[in-house]
Amino acid sequence: MARILIAEARFYEELNDQLLAGARAAIEAAGHEHETITVPGALELPGAIALASESGRYDAYVAIGIVIRGETYHFEIVAGESARGLMALTMDGLAIGNGILTVENDAQAEVRANPAKKDKGGEAARAALAMLELRERFA
């Protein structure tokens, strides 16, 4: 049984609840344990996962959050840098599922977060588990 850390950037509470429900359901359906931590925003997710990885307590990680385009360039910074940070950790050997939604509006976020629709939280958890399986295969 693997131990999975879900790191969530809890900015949009109702949407995050849906992402979290999907991620938890996918992990539990696969027979694994999970723990959840919360960070202020998507930019903090890679740092939180890096810190958690130093503990050696987790086998894989799921990053979830939502970034909705606004009127400024901030969207591009947050979307790009959070993805870059997670990819760097993945390239260092961590099994991570990226469930950070980067969307144009609330309606797109709702469809993607909802476990009964696109279930991107569950998809990110399944990606983390798939990467964990690959890591173990090549160990």
DSSP strand pairing (60-68 vs 33-39): unpaired
List of domains in the chain: 42-134 (3.40.50.960)
74 counts as catalytic:
yes
Per residue in 85-96, is it b (16+ CB within 10 Å) or e — as a string?
Answer: bbeebbeeebbb
pLDDT over 90 at 129, yes or no: yes
Rounded Cα gap, residues 92 and 84, in angstroms: 12
**How confident is the model over 23-46, as pLDDT tens digits?**
999 999 999 999 999 999 999 999
**How confident is the model over 63-102, as pLDDT tens digits?**
999 999 988 889 999 999 999 999 999 999 999 999 999 9
| Residue 43 counted as an annotated binding residue | yes
Q: Among the options 3, 28, 40, 74, which is catalytic? A: 74
| Residue 37 counted as an annotated binding residue | no
| Residue 11 counted as an annotated binding residue | yes
Query: How is residue 59 annotated by DSSP?
Result: S
Q: How far is CA 89 from the centre of its chain?
A: 13
On whether the pTM is more than 0.75, the answer is: yes
| Residue 33 counted as an annotated binding residue | no
